Amino acid sequence: MKGKKTKNIVLITLDCVRPDHLGCFGYAGVDTPTINHLAEKGILFEQAICSAPNTWVSHASIFTGCNPLKHGLHTPYDKLGEDTPTIAEILSQNGYYTLGFPAHNLVGKVANFHRGFDVFYEDSLKFDSKIEGMKWCSDWTKVLTIADEQIKRNKHKPLFIWFHYINTHHLPNNSILLPDSYKHRFGSKWQYYDAKISYADKSCVKNIVDILEKNQIRENTVLVIFSDHGEELEKGSCPKHDNSLFEDVLRILLLIVDPANQTNRKVSDLVRSIDILPTILDMLHIPQTNTYIDGESLVPLFICNDAVTKGWAYSENIVKGLLSIRTPTWKLIIHVEKSDENNEIKVRPKRFQLFKVAGSSFSKDMSVGEIPREQVASKVEPILRCLEESLNSKRSIVDNEKDRLCNALKSLGYI
């Protein structure tokens, strides 16, 4: 893993960005020239599914390549389990210099997201004194400046950098900074949702690409651009994403661009956010020695369709008592209830709802109806037992941090 030819890896999270609100997916309401251009050089996954419609569980799955059932982070009060190595840890062990720029403390040290990073820039997050416990990275310029300095200083080493851009996220008080020109051009609908995505293309993605070019490492850097979840956009209401497991919140952007292997390819197969980690390891020829990873390398799909065998995705929204199993054409949503029996959490299924989904096309979940318990209960029993085991593992953060996180969640409109 030594020498100049080792590829750098740059992950960019565009928080809350729905793929069907991007030009490269055919949407005309935004202006995203950089992402569109990158999509023409890379591999765009048209049917990518996240593990959960919230920032913390989704990132935990992306970082570990595991479903929540395994990494154990189900709520913002859980920690990443020590027994599930993160991508930063794996790449660090393979000689990478690792930089992390979390944009919110919910994906920070308190939940173990810092593990494996040589430098984790949570301390540079701005603290909003109006909302106790909230740390939100509104100073994106500072992030870019630090990243530029770090890259300049360390570019002789293989680099792994994670950028988390959160200014596309909704806020109850609609206080996200956005230049007036973007507000005027794209309008205020859904809290300036399209305007924020258009601005992210320039302020986040283009600026990162420019920094890589300026430091002459662009040609040797694989870009993985993704969203952690989507967004529910209903008429007249504030955007949100934590109420359901429908397509608008589970479908994510996933774009991989390797300048050494440029292609203009669209993959319509069902893939998952947990596949990102094994894909990167495969691209870097790092053997996947541990069998704990649930995801599968997508590298075979770089060349031919139908090369990945697992045609289903698991997602969950435990706070709302929802689990889902999605195939390219169907989605089963399981409503569960949790109970505490003698200090042990028990999970029981309440309802089973079946929906038709439209593969890589974007459409609403079409309800087929309720499935009788006797038809499906025994089939989902192993998943429920895994969930019970995971929920009962001792990974919660300490109580004195919970109050601070509660306030942070309120600030994001989750509770």
> How many residues in total does the chain contain?
415
Instruction: Give the closest residue to 67 by CA, choosing from 275, 314, 242.
Output: 314
Binding region for Zn ion (CB under 5 A) out of 18-26, 224-232, 268-276, 344-352: 224-232
Please report how close the Cβ of residue 230 comes to Zn ion at its closest, in angstroms. Answer: 10
Please give the structure tokens belonging to residue 13: 């999270």
Please report how close the Cβ of residue 113 comes to Zn ion at its closest, in angstroms. Answer: 13
Please give the structure tokens belonging to residue 145: 């400046």
Q: Which of 55/98 has CB closer to Zn ion? A: 55
Question: In which element (H, E) is residue 146 found?
Answer: helix 140-154
Please report how close the Cβ of residue 408 comes to Zn ion at its closest, in angstroms. Answer: 13
Q: Which of 170/395 has CB closer to Zn ion? A: 170
Please report how close the Cβ of residue 5 comes to Zn ion at its closest, in angstroms. Answer: 34
Do residues 264 and 40 lie in contact, with contact meaning Cβ atoms separated by under 8 Å? yes
CA distances from 188 to 30, 192, 237, 240 (A): 13, 4, 12, 16
DSSP 219-239: GGEEEEEE-S---B--TTS--
Q: Which of 232/269 has CB closer to Zn ion? A: 232
Angle at 280 between CA 135 and CA 116, to 5 degrees: 45
Q: Which of 136/355 has CB closer to Zn ion? A: 136
Determine if 15 is a binding residue for Zn ion (CB under 5 A).
Answer: yes
Site for Zn ion in 119-148 (CB under 5 A): none
Please give the structure tokens belonging to residue 162: 């994670």
Compute the distance between CA of residue 123 and CA of residue 142 in angstroms, rounded to an integer.
Answer: 12
Q: Which of 55/67 has CB closer to Zn ion? A: 55
Q: Which of 228/232 has CB closer to Zn ion? A: 228
Binding region for Zn ion (CB under 5 A) out of 31-39, 141-149, 221-229, 298-306: 221-229
Q: Which of 224/267 has CB closer to Zn ion? A: 224
**Other beta carbons less than 10 A from residue 393's beta carbon:** 12
Contact partners, residue 134, CB within 8 Å, separation at least 6: 105, 127, 128, 407, 408, 411
Q: Which of 15/248 has CB closer to Zn ion? A: 15
Q: Which of 79/241 has CB closer to Zn ion? A: 241
Site for Zn ion in 334-353 (CB under 5 A): none
Q: Which of 76/85 has CB closer to Zn ion? A: 76
Please report how close the Cβ of residue 171 comes to Zn ion at its closest, in angstroms. Answer: 12
What 363-371 contacts at long range (C-beta under 8 Å, 24+ apart), as own/partner pairs, is 363/247, 364/246, 364/247, 364/248, 365/246, 365/247, 365/331, 371/332
Please report how close the Cβ of residue 232 comes to Zn ion at its closest, in angstroms. Answer: 13
Q: What binding mask, one character per residue, do residues 174-213 give for Zn ion by CB under 5 A, x or -?
A: ----------------------------------------
Burial of 396 (0-12, 13-18, 19+ CB in 10 A): middle
Q: What binding mask, one character per residue, do residues 41-80 give for Zn ion by CB under 5 A, x or -?
A: --------------x-------------------------
> Longest Cα pair distance anywhere in the chain, in angstroms?
62
Q: What binding mask, one character per residue, do residues 225-264 give for Zn ion by CB under 5 A, x or -?
A: ---x------------------------------------
Determine if 411 is a binding residue for Zn ion (CB under 5 A).
Answer: no
Phi, psi of 6 (to 5 degrees): -65, 130
Number of residues that bind Zn ion (CB under 5 A): 3
Please report how close the Cβ of residue 393 comes to Zn ion at its closest, in angstroms. Answer: 24
Compute the distance between CA of residue 209 and CA of residue 166 in angstroms, rounded to an integer.
Answer: 18
Nearest residue to Zn ion, scored by beta-carbon proximity: 55
Binding region for Zn ion (CB under 5 A) out of 15-23, 87-95, 184-192, 311-319: 15-23
Would you tell me which residues interact with Zn ion (CB under 5 A)?
Answer: 15, 55, 228
